[in-house]
Amino acid sequence: MIKYLLFLNLLHNSNVYSIDCFKCVSINSDYQPCEDPFHHNYTEDIYKSPCMGGKKGRDGLFPATSCVKIAGIFDDTEDSIVVRGCALDSGTLTTDTEIVRMSHCGRFYYKNRYVRGCVQSCNDADGCNKGTIPQCGNLTFLLISFILINLLVF
């Protein structure tokens, strides 16, 4: 009986959060729904709910924890670029290897090309629509516990 109660407690406390984000790429304004100023009124096809991302050193996709926006200018052609997507913290120890931990501006590589611009991440602000994966609520947990206790005791 104690095993079942512990299992139910784990179900009750296992919250998995994800975030909803827009995913798109626009180079030299070739995809207007991705560009700034950003308007949500014609972007349903690029809205991902929940947004899933890769994790360093792991196969597959995982629920994202942050939305990411890259905006800049390619050094070689002066073409503009806007990328919107999502990412998650891979759990490394340093901030400089985790794109979601710190927004920054400067120079960086994007697909083997130098870009001057900014990488911004957010997880609870305008343009970052937070969502949760369905989970067991308090009432459901109490009801299941009551039923199991009655089945085990009687």
- Looking up tokens 């994966």 gives 133
Distances (CA, A) of 31 to 16, 22, 59: 33, 13, 30
Q: Which pLDDT score is estimated for 38?
A: 81
Q: Which pLDDT score is estimated for 85?
A: 92
Rounded Cα distance, 69 and 103, in Å: 9
34-78 pLDDT per residue, tens = 998 887 776 788 888 888 988 878 899 999 888 999 999 999 999
* Residue 3 in this model has a pLDDT that exceeds 80: no
Buried b (16+ CB within 10 A) or exposed e, 24-56: bbbeeeeeebbbeeeeeeeeeebebebbebeee
Model confidence at 97, pLDDT cuts 50, 70, 90, reads low
- Give the total residue count for the chain: 154
In degrees, rounded to 5, the angle at the alpha carbon of residue 89 between the alpha carbons of residues 85 and 90 is: 115
Task: Decide if 136 contacts 16 (C-beta within 8 A).
Answer: no
Lowest-pLDDT range of 21-25, 32-36, 86-90, 97-101: 97-101
State percent of the chain over pLDDT 90: 32
Q: Which pLDDT score is estimated for 16?
A: 53
